[in-house]
Every structure is written in C-alpha cells, then in structure tokens.
Amino acid sequence: MRVLFTLHAATAHLFLVVPIAWALRAAGHEVIVATQPDIVEEVTRTGLTALPVGQPSNVAERLASMAPEEHIFGSGFDIAEERPEVLTYEYVRDCMAAFASPLALDLITDESMYDDLVAFCRQWRPDLVVWDSITFPGPVAAHACGAAHVRSTFGRDHWGRMRSLFLSMRDRQPGDVREDPVADWVTAKLARYGLPFHEDAILGQATVDSMPLWTRFPVEHHYLPVRFVPYNGPAVIPDWLREAGPDRPRVCFTLGVSGREMWGGHGSIRAADLFDAVADLDVEVVATLKANQLDPDVKVPDNVRIVDYVPLNALLPSCSAIVHHGGTGTFGTAIAHGVPQLVVPAALYDEAGMARQIAEQGAGLVVDPTDLSTRTLRENLVRLIGEPSFRENATRLRRVAQTTPAPRDLVCVLEDLVARHRAGGPRDRRAGDAAQA
C-alpha cells in the first residue's frame, strides 16, 4: 500500500515517526514523508522519501518577532492545563478555539500546505495518511482522496483529552447548546475542497500512541499503542564513547532537538547553572550543546565534556542520570534505556506534565523553573544518582515499555485498518473524486 506521513516543520516530531515509517517501508509498503520545505533535508537524511509542501514555515523566526498576544504562548490558554478549578466549560471551549486559529494551528501550517498536500494526494492516491496530531492538512488531504488516516501523537494526547472534555461539558450545559469552535474550524478547512465535515478529521480514525500506557488519559478513542523506539538522526559514535565506561557516574545534559531549533537555542536550563552545580561533584557530565547554547564567557569545569551532537541512543546506556527539558523524544529515550531523569520543564507543550509523571513513577525528579538554581540542581542530581530506588524504578519502566508492540507489530494493525476502510469506505473515495472533478 501507499503510505503518506505528514507533519509540520519540526525535526523533533519527524524523529518520533521515523521508526514507524521504516517499519512500513521494510514490510514492502511505499512511504513518502510530506512536510514544509524547512526540514526536507532532515527527512532525506533519514533515508525516507521527502515531499516538500507549502511555503517555508520559519516558525521559530516568526515567533521570535511576534508580540506575545499574537501567538498561543501569550494567549493565556494552555492545552496541557489539568487543574479542575481552571477547566471550566468556558476555558475548555475558548482554549480549543485559540488553538484552532491563527494563534496556533494556522500559524504552523498555512493554506499553502493544505493546497499542495490535497493536490498531491488526489494525484498519488495514498491508501493511508499518518498525520502529526497538530498538522491538520493531513486529515483534510485524506478526506480529499478517500484514504484511511490516523494521527500520531507527540507527548500525551491533550488535544484528545480536551476534545473529549469539551463534548462532555457541552452536553451538560443548560439549553440546547450546539457551539463547537473546533468543528467549525475543521468544517471550513474541508469546505475549501468541497468536502463535508466528519468528526474523524479532528482525532483521526485511530491514533498511533508511542507514549507509555501509564501516561494515557481515559479518552474514549481508538488508540494504537506502539513502543517508543529512539531515533536521533544520522550520527557517528565518537571514539571516547566506544571506550570502557567512566569510573564515576556519567550524566547527560541536553535541551533536545527543540532546544536547538526554537527560542534561539535557549531552553529551560542555563548551561552555566548546571556547570556551577556539578563543578565539584565526582561525576562526568556530557553536555550536548551547540555553540549558540553556550554563553561566550561561560566557564566549563574539568568534569564537563561539551559535544555538539552525540546520539542519545548511544550515549544513555553509559549514563547514571540525564538532566533535560522534558521533551518527548528525550523522555522516551531515557525510559528505553532505564535512565533516571532530572527534568526542568520547558514551556512548549506538556513538558511539566510528563515530568510529573516520571516523578510519580519514582524514576525521576522535577525542578520547577521558578525554583531553578545551582543549589536545587545540585541537590536533586546528587539524590538522583545516590538513591538506588530511582535506577530501580527506571529499570522497571524500561521493562514495561518493552512489552508494548514494536513498530513492526503495528504494521499489520495499520494494514487491517486500511483493509476495513476500503471495505466500508467507498463513499469517502467517491467524495474525493467528486470534489476533484
């Protein structure tokens, strides 16, 4: 079958789906990855076929030049909000509306991506579209050509949680309340191509979820669990990493791929603070930082090794702990290798929520950015390395993760989903043909 993956221009999101795309490719299916031109080169570096669609996103540069009230981070709404006292009906409704608007989803994928992707799908006729959960040209293009389609998550599925919460709360409102800002937004996207609204354009016909089962929200939706398999991009293992492990604990410090691409390279942890915290500790720190993530006058202690890039999948097996920002890929790679985590959450998506999850499992610690200091970093790192329970619980989570279906096991599930869609979905394919005509 023909499979189209589509995502916006975010390398971190690309890396999450590469193992699944390659599992399909290895099973004999034809795979194309469609994304904005910004990361086409990154796609080709994975060995997969890339399709540039739409205009360049330049989202990091645009965010840096915008006033806070012009984008979602300054809107006052947080899709990852979980506090019951905040989640009123009005908040949930308006939060979803804010995301389905030029503040967020229309900011990262404009009409040019929709137009190009729909045109390509009507010509290429994929059997399956796998779309990143915040890249809505995917479900629109799938409906335009009659393909089966599934979402792929990054982090916990807050979009699905909020959608489910909104519908439940709306049903309990007095009177005959029918408002639905997300459905209105999706309806307009579909109508641009002569297509009627369908609820599955919001959450997909199913959702491929690579997050651990213990992080999932109780949402009534068809989830397809798959084991997180680390992919860090093409890399060469350096000579120093091939040597025997250090005679003292090794600590990895990273701000992730997003930390390199967004906010000018700055993240939730200043390198200088971490260096001060570890300078007199009997540890070896490997800091994966680009030049623009280091202040020019920062003093690097003797026990810190600065490397521009080293694959986490190769580095973490030798580490006693990892200090990071809470990104999905870093979080998942640490779990895959059973490494205790010290998280100072960034504020991009759900970093704080995932940090709380790993702490509740006893496999990590959290430092709130407002409490961040040399002292809090040092104290928590010493505890993380020194108390055996953190390693024991991280090892337990690794074993649990290994029982989740691997990407190769997901292939037959997706094949079956496409077969069932073909058997029951001639209406969808005719709708695509009619709209194209």
Instruction: Give residues with Cβ within 8 angstroms of 49, minimum separation 6.
Output: 31, 32, 33, 43
Measured between alpha carbons, how far is 401 from 285 in angstroms, rounded to an integer? Answer: 27
From the number of C-beta atoms within 10 Å of its C-beta (0-12, 13-18, 19+), residue 402 rates as exposed
* Residue 430 pLDDT greater than 50, yes or no: no
| Residues facing residue 371 across a β-bridge | none
pLDDT at 128: 98
Measured between alpha carbons, how far is 125 from 245 in angstroms, rounded to an integer? Answer: 51
Residue 179: how many CB atoms within 10 A of its CB?
A: 11
Measured between alpha carbons, how far is 357 from 178 in angstroms, rounded to an integer? Answer: 35
Measured between alpha carbons, how far is 21 from 245 in angstroms, rounded to an integer? Answer: 33
pLDDT at 270: 84
Average pLDDT of span 291-307? 84
Question: Could you read off the pLDDT of 5-43 as tens digits, one per residue?
Answer: 999 999 999 999 999 999 999 999 999 999 999 999 999
Token representation of residue 232: 């860090």
Instruction: Give residues with Cβ within 8 angstroms of 185, minimum separation 6.
Output: 97, 100, 101, 105
Question: Could you read off the pLDDT of 309-322 as tens digits, one per residue?
Answer: 888 999 999 999 99
Query: What is the DSSP pairing of strand 284-288 with strand 304-307?
Result: parallel
Measured between alpha carbons, how far is 147 from 432 in angstroms, rounded to an integer? Answer: 9
Model confidence at 247, pLDDT cuts 50, 70, 90, reads confident
pLDDT at 267: 64
Model confidence at 266, pLDDT cuts 50, 70, 90, reads low
Model confidence at 348, pLDDT cuts 50, 70, 90, reads confident
Average pLDDT of span 333-353? 93
| Amino acid in position 362 | G
Per the document, the length of the chain is 437
Q: State the average pLDDT for the chain.
A: 92
Question: Could you read off the pLDDT of 128-165 as tens digits, one per residue?
Answer: 999 999 999 999 999 999 999 999 999 999 999 999 99
Measured between alpha carbons, how far is 409 from 19 in angstroms, rounded to an integer? Answer: 12
* Residue 189 pLDDT greater than 70, yes or no: yes
pLDDT at 283: 96
> Which of 214, 374, 413 has its CA nearest to residue 278?
374
Question: Could you read off the pLDDT of 394-428 as tens digits, one per residue?
Answer: 999 999 999 999 999 999 999 999 999 999 854 44
* Residue 4 pLDDT greater than 90, yes or no: yes
Sheet holding 364-366, edge to edge: 304-307, 284-288, 250-254, 321-324, 341-343, 364-366
From the number of C-beta atoms within 10 Å of its C-beta (0-12, 13-18, 19+), residue 422 rates as middle
pLDDT at 258: 63
pLDDT at 308: 86
Model confidence at 260, pLDDT cuts 50, 70, 90, reads low
Ranking 188-197, 240-249, 255-264 by mean pLDDT, the lowest is 255-264
Question: Could you read off the pLDDT of 41-73 as tens digits, one per residue?
Answer: 999 999 999 999 999 999 888 988 999 889 998
pLDDT at 295: 75
Residue 329: how many CB atoms within 10 A of its CB?
A: 25
pLDDT at 429: 39
Domains by residue range for the chain, with CATH = 2-227+405-436 (3.40.50.2000), 239-402 (3.40.50.2000)
Model confidence at 271, pLDDT cuts 50, 70, 90, reads confident
> Which of 256, 323, 255 has its CA nearest to residue 283?
323
The secondary structure of the chain, three-state, reads CEEEEECCCCHHHHHHHHHHHHHHHHCCCEEEEEECHHHHHHHHHCCCEEEECCCCCCHHHHHHHCCHHHCHHHCCCCCCCCCCCCCCHHHHHHHHHHHCCCCCHHHHCCHHHHHHHHHHHHHHCCCEEEEECCCCHHHHHHHHHCCEEEEECCCCCHHHHHHHHHHHHHHCCCCCCCCCHHHHHHHHHHHCCCCCCCCHHHHCCCEEECCCHHHCCCCCCCEEECCCCCCCCCCCCCHHHHCCCCCCCEEEEECHHHHHHCHHHCCCCCHHHHHHHHCCCCCEEEEECCHHHCCCCCCCCCCEEEECCCCHHHHHHHCCEEEECCCHHHHHHHHHCCCCEEECCCCCCCHHHHHHHHHHCCCEEECCHHHCCHHHHHHHHHHHHHCHHHHHHHHHHHHHHHCCCCHHHHHHHHHHHHHHHHHHCHHHHHHHHHHHC
* Residue 116 pLDDT greater than 60, yes or no: yes
Model confidence at 259, pLDDT cuts 50, 70, 90, reads low
Residues 78 and 96 sit within 8 Å (Cβ to Cβ): no
Measured between alpha carbons, how far is 143 from 134 in angstroms, rounded to an integer? Answer: 17
Question: Could you read off the pLDDT of 198-240 as tens digits, one per residue?
Answer: 999 999 999 999 999 999 999 999 999 999 999 998 888 999 9
